[in-house]
């Protein structure tokens, strides 16, 4: 199918809508000056990306994206922004150095490398053999508690260490 025919389907049109808004809000994170605006753009980006996840039949991950990212992590960011209550002198104005633009050039170079890799990927997207179960809590949970049991338990340890570490670091003086 050519591009226009895919865009004409409901799935293609939904993808295009969510993709455009995801990229637009992601660009908003980078070009805005104020951290609050950046955080708001990032919340929008997470929401639209969750829509893309639903298109990929990743229902549980889409739900967690909104719950954990757009909920918990972004509230944490906003808390810190409000806590620091930065004035204008902290917004990181001032001339950018040439090295930074060289870095952005490198980022675009990386994009071209990834583009070459994407060009070699098999393009077909087969229909799901079990559309009623793929990506549901049950399917992902079964995978997590059998094949990925050790990483799952290590993740709980990691979160415990992160909690203790965050308390210790935020308390003491560096």
Q: Please, which of residues 2-41 interact with other proteins by CB under 8 A?
A: 6, 11-12, 15, 19, 22-23, 26-27, 29-30, 35, 38-39
Three-state SS for the chain is CCHHHHHHCHHHHHHHHHHHHHHHHHHHHHHCCCHHHHHHHHHHHHHHHHHHHHHCCCHHHHHHHHHHHHHHHHHHHHHHHHHHCCCHHHCCCCCCCHHHHHHHHHHHHHHHHHHHHHCCCCCCCCCCCCCCCCCCHHHHHHHHHHCCHHHHHHHHHHHHHHHHHHHHHHHCCC
- Residue among 17, 82, 103, 153 that touches other proteins (CB under 8 A): 103
Instruction: Please report how close the Cβ of residue 60 comes to other proteins at its closest, in angstroms.
Output: 7
Residue closer to other proteins by CB (options 4, 92) is 92
**Near other proteins by CB under 8 A: residue from 17, 47, 134, 153:** 134
C-beta of 163: minimal distance to other proteins in Å? 7
Evaluate whether 61 touches 46 at the Cβ level (below 8 Å): no
Out of 17, 82, 118, 153, the only residue in the binding site for other proteins (CB under 8 A) is 118
CB of 168 to other proteins, least distance (A): 8
- Rounded to the nearest whole angstrom, what is the least distance from the CB of residue 132 to other proteins in the complex? 13
Among 17, 80, 82, 153, binds other proteins (CB under 8 A): 80
Q: Which of 8, 17, 82, 104 binds other proteins (CB under 8 A)?
A: 104
Choosing from 8, 17, 153, 162, the residue that interacts with other proteins (CB under 8 A) is: 162
CB of 104 to other proteins, least distance (A): 5
Instruction: Residue 135: name the closest of 72, 83, 62 by CA.
Output: 62
In this structure, are residues 52 and 18 in contact, taking their beta carbons and an 8 Å threshold?
yes
């Amino acid at each position: 199918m050519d591009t226009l025919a895919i865009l004409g389907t409901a799935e293609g049109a939904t993808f295009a809508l969510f993709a455009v808004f995801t990229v637009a809000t992601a660009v908003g994170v980078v070009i805005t000056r104020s951290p609050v605006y950046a955080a708001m753009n990032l919340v929008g980006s997470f929401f639209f990306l969750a829509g893309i996840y639903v298109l990929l039949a990743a229902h549980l991950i889409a739900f967690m994206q909104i719950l954990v990212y757009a909920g918990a992590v972004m509230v944490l960011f906003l808390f810190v922004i409000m806590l620091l209550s930065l004035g204008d002198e902290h917004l990181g104005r001032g001339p950018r150095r040439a090295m930074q633009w060289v870095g952005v050039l490198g980022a675009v170079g990386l994009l071209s490398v990834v583009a070459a890799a994407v060009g070699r990927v098999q393009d077909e997207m087969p229909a799901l053999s079990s559309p009623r179960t793929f990506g549901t809590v049950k399917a992902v949970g079964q995978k997590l508690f059998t094949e990925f049991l050790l990483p799952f338990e290590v993740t709980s340890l990691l979160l415990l260490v992160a909690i203790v570490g965050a308390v210790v670091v935020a308390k003491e003086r560096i």
